[in-house]
Structure 1
Amino acid sequence: MISHIDHIVLTVAELDRSVQFYKRALNMEELTFSNGRKAVKFGNQKINFQLLGQEPRNRARVGSGDLCLISTWSLDKVLSHLSEAGIEIVEGPVQKSGANGPIQSVYFLDPDSNLIEVSVY
């Protein structure tokens, strides 16, 4: 029934701060869409950002996200990039279980304390 994820939405305190973080930390592309909304794009997916209360049907709170993103880079290259970008690793590298088998992962927090996991198969 489901073929893939198109986008996810993170509730954030400051739109521009979040966009800049994801561009710096993960080399994502900034997008602006309907009514000035903000997002970042990677591959065929995107992360939309919303302010608390901006979308009444969404009850998410700032910092409630937990994402696992798969990298095409080696984990050493990911770690080097994150270090150069000033991103503090909160856990890893560690072995975890991904959707398609074992993965090596590192974890860090975005500016709103959403947990970001970058992994390599």
Structure 2
Amino acid sequence: MTAPRLTALDHLVLTVTDIHATVGFYSDVLGMRAEVFHPADGSRRIALRVGPQKINLHPAAAPFQPKAAHPGPGTADLCFLTETPLTDWQSHLAARGVTVEEGPIRRTGAAGPILSLYIRDPDGNLIEIATPIR
């Protein structure tokens, strides 16, 4: 019998202090699209779309069930790929008052070498913006 395999990442969850501040940052700074959805339990939740994936937002004061064993704001380290040159990103980030903590710097991504910038979201999560090196 063949072992079962996973095929893709559907979504991940960020536990955040302020959902509206998070939506503002990810929409304005990173260009993601916010959407409201209603899971099977009938609650109203907010997610951020990036390509075919989404990031579900859970409020730190009352995270939805089930949840990680130790959910908390500022505990994530996420890398997003872009085709936009990092020089354009640097200008965009500077215009919005977002500090680049490191980069451009060479790293290794899931599919090979990447060139990355590092910033922080409102909760202090580390956000990597990367372009593939071809």
TM-score clears 0.5? yes
Aligned to 1:94: 105
Structure 2 SS opposite 1:68: strand
Q: Deviations 1:22-71 (Å, cap 9, x if unpaired)?
A: 00111110111112211110110111110124134322211101000001
Structure having the larger proportion of residues in strand: 1
1:37 partnered with 2:41: no
Structure 1 residue 111 corresponds to structure 2 residue 122? yes
Aligned counterpart for 1:63 among listed residues 74, 84, 93: 74
Unaligned stretches of 5+ residues in structure 2: none
Q: 1:118 Cα shift? A: 0.4
Deviates more, 1:69-78 or 1:51-60: 51-60
CA displacement 1:75-109 (0-9 Å, x = unmatched): 11121221222211111110001111110000000
d(CA) in 1 for partners of 2:33, 2:103: 26
Task: Specify the alignment match of 2:84 in structure 1.
Answer: 73
Structure 1 regions of 5+ residues with no counterpart? Answer: none
Instruction: State the identity as a percent.
Output: 37
Which of 58, 63, 87 is 1:54 aligned to? 63
SS at match of 2:20: helix
- Calculate the TM-score normalised by the size of structure 2: 0.85
Structure number, greater radius of gyration = 2
Q: Over aligned residue pairs, what C-alpha RMSD do you find?
A: 1.2
Match of 1:4 in 2: 8
SS at match of 1:83: helix
TM-score (norm 1): 0.93
Q: Greater helix percent: which structure?
A: 1
